[in-house]
Amino acid sequence: MEKYFGFAQELLERGKAVEAPPYGADSLYDLLNQFDDDIPFYLGLAQAAQGKVLEVGCGSGRVLHRLAEAGIDVVGLDASAEMLRQAAARLGERKAELVHGDMRSFELPHMFQLIIIPYCTLIYATNDQERRAVFERCFQHLHPGGVLAFDFLAGKVSVGEELPYLALQGVHPFTGEVLVHTVQVKGIREDLRLLNQVSYHMGEDGPAKITVQASLEGICPSERVAELLTEVGFSVRGIYSDYSGTPYAGEEFCVIVAEK
């Protein structure tokens, strides 16, 4: 499968842009994701767990640093070394162990009372085999009675190319660059989509820098996710449509809490 399509592909072919990893040094992740609605939910679970907590896909520490700030004994796992570097900077003097690893294959010397996978990180497991691998790794790293909690996208993908949309425009708060960031989605199947992102970095000196990024994302119905959890050995404790415990009723967004 080709990683790029549409305008991102044209920019690369014309030599107008360079490819960048989605979560590398050029990532605008923190600027694009000004989101904290999930913090009380995950923080509440962590405080109730009364033991060691693992955040899978901790990224730049958006949730992690809030758990560490609350005195939670927390470990953060992420596949991006750059995101872990940013997480370490955000943590500052707060204590948290950071581990470079893949959510489908991690092996840690710890057992946990709670494992969380926030902000739809499960989309990077793009098929049932990969999702099962994630759940198996989590199951193996939980104490009996331990809890797994995560949110994910449960809707269906519209097959075909959508129009690009503007995700960000503004001035970078640290570098002073003018930033414009666009996203285009291509539906491959009802359960799989390809995202192309184009970022324009315009500084005071020199020409604009244009980077393109690609990411493949998997979508899975809530009932299938629940089946996979049960097959691995989990007991599904709740399926919700938000972080307040509203019963799930077929929405695109879903939250699941399961117990070992």
pTM: 0.94
| Section 70-98 average pLDDT | 94
Q: What is the pLDDT of residues 3-13, one digit of tens each?
A: 999 999 999 99
What pLDDT shows up at residue 66?
A: 95
Q: Domains of the chain: which residue ranges?
A: 6-25+157-218, 31-155+220-259
Q: What is the pLDDT of residues 26-46, one digit of tens each?
A: 667 666 667 789 999 999 999
Distances (CA, A) of 162 to 12, 154, 188: 19, 19, 11
Higher pLDDT, 28 or 19: 19
User: Which of 229, 8, 29, 250 lies closest to 153 in space, CA to CA?
Assistant: 250
Q: What is the pLDDT of residues 134-182, one digit of tens each?
A: 999 999 999 999 999 999 999 899 999 999 999 889 887 777 888 899 9
What pLDDT shows up at residue 30?
A: 65
From CA 25, how far away is CA 21, in angstroms rounded? 8
Helices and strands (H, E) in the chain, number of each type: 7, 13
Q: What is the pLDDT of residues 55-67, one digit of tens each?
A: 999 999 999 999 9
Distances (CA, A) of 168 to 80, 174, 181, 208, 217: 22, 16, 5, 16, 20
Domain 31-155+220-259 falls under CATH 3.40.50.150: yes
Which uninterrupted H or E stretch holds 224? helix 222-232
Q: Is the pLDDT of residue 107 over 90?
A: yes
What pLDDT shows up at residue 123?
A: 96
26-40, 87-101, 113-127, 167-181 — which is least confidently predicted? 26-40
| Section 73-79 average pLDDT | 97
Question: How many CB atoms within 10 Å of residue 98?
Answer: 19
- Spatial contact of 73 and 53, defined as CB atoms under 8 Å apart: yes
Q: What is the pLDDT of residues 201-222, one digit of tens each?
A: 888 776 789 999 999 999 999 9
What pLDDT shows up at residue 252?
A: 94
Residue type, 26: D
What pLDDT shows up at residue 34?
A: 72
Residue with tokens 């709740």: 238
